[in-house]
Structure 1
Amino acid sequence: MPTPESEAFLAKKPTVPASFDGVDYDDNKRLKQAQDAVIREQWVHVMMGRLVQQELNKCYYREGVNHLEKCGALRERYLQLLKDHRIRGYMFQQENYVTKK
């Protein structure tokens, strides 16, 4: 059963998607919320990579010399996460957003 979210958590939870689609750049409050949502999403992916790394370390320690056979799936998952998920910030997405007119 999932833990219910507290009122303080819900107050800080972003209300905009993690992109700049439909964000009015003149509205500073919505722009800041979009920036925060992009950064939060990137941090979630980084922390997911950290969890996979910890499981991979446990597997290496547990399996010993057989770690190449037993931990291959975790290793591949970790390498994929390293390649794809990094903290890049929001400036590139914000500056290169093409509006459709």
Structure 2
Amino acid sequence: MFTGVCVFDVLLPPDSRSLKAKRSYVRPVVAALRKLEVSVAEVGATDLHGRTEIGVAVVSGEATQVRDVIDACERMVAARPELQLLSARRRWYGEDDE
């Protein structure tokens, strides 16, 4: 069993000056990522208006499948014209990890 985790650090548009406006940008991204059958949530910078961290996790029997799904998630977030992807921090867990 292999597990991949990725945290996307995202800069939101300047008009996201309230938490309500921030949610209007984050919710569609989370919904789109869920279509890739991953676990996803806003995991950081929840109290900042212009920034967020979105975490995804995937589990598979093959390491290549985990990598491919995480790559697809990153492409999806990076392709959103209203967002700026600042970084994507990945972590892999394999059969030998404890």
- TM-score, reference length from structure 1: 0.29
Of Structure 1 and Structure 2, which has the larger fraction of its residues in strand?
2
- Structure with higher RCO (Cα < 8 A, 6+ apart): 2
Of Structure 1 and Structure 2, which has the larger fraction of its residues in helix?
1
Of structures 1 and 2, the larger Rg is shown by 1
